[in-house]
Structure 1
Amino acid sequence: MSEIDPAMSFEDAMKELEATVGKLETGEASLEESIALYERGALLRKHCEKRLREAEERVEKITLGSNGEPTGTVPADGL
């Protein structure tokens, strides 16, 4: 089972995951190939979930003053 490059972007991982699922759905792969594809897909899914969590942690919440005007941002941790 090959490892996922930690620097792989979310978009690239999703493209590869979609291609992997497509190969599995055709049913043309041998049992061994299907197992390898499934394992790769599981790693790609986990990588995508990690990248999404990282992005969510970086999202900021806009704070508003008493007049309703934006006053700045705060980390989304408190959401």
Structure 2
Amino acid sequence: MAKKKSEAFEEALKKLQAIVEKLERGDLPLEEAMDSFTEGIKLAQYCHQKLEEAENKVQMLVKDPQGNWGTTPFETGEEKSPDE
């Protein structure tokens, strides 16, 4: 049976966290550290892609001025603040 998408994401995130912890300890031989780094980059890219896909699906329920309910794209909050 195939894993659910959320389970695959969670598993990838756990693997990435373990790699980061290993690399932060700094006791890996150079070649093993480079292999771990490469795997970590791939996992980070995968997780980023899955998060972007989820973000694109998220919509907020809003009420328009006429009192009708509708949807609007989710805003990430990355917009510039007024004092920038």
Q: Alignment partner for residue 71 of structure 1, among 50, 69, 72? A: 69
Choose between structure 1 and 2 for higher RCO, CA contacts under 8 A separated by at least 6 residues.
1
Query: Displaced runs of 4+ in structure 1, greater than 3 A?
Result: 65-68
- Long gaps (5+) in structure 2: 76-84
Within 5 Å, give how 1:1-79 maps onto structure 2. Answer: 9-66=8-65, 68=67, 71-74=69-72, 76=73
Q: Using the alignment, how far apart are the partners of 1:65 and 1:72 within structure 2?
A: 7
Q: Using the alignment, how far apart are the partners of 1:34 and 1:27 within structure 2?
A: 8
Deviation at 1:57, TM superposition (A): 0.8
Counting matched residue pairs gives 70
DSSP-derived class of the 2:71 partner:
strand
Deviation at 1:67, TM superposition (A): 5.9
Q: Using the alignment, how far apart are the partners of 1:62 and 1:20 within structure 2?
A: 38
Q: Please provide the CA RMSD for this pair.
A: 2.3
Deviation at 1:42, TM superposition (A): 0.5
TM-score when normalising by structure 2: 0.68
Deviation at 1:60, TM superposition (A): 1.3
TM-score when normalising by structure 1: 0.72
Amino acid at match of 2:11: D
Deviation at 1:28, TM superposition (A): 1.7
- Long gaps (5+) in structure 1: 1-6
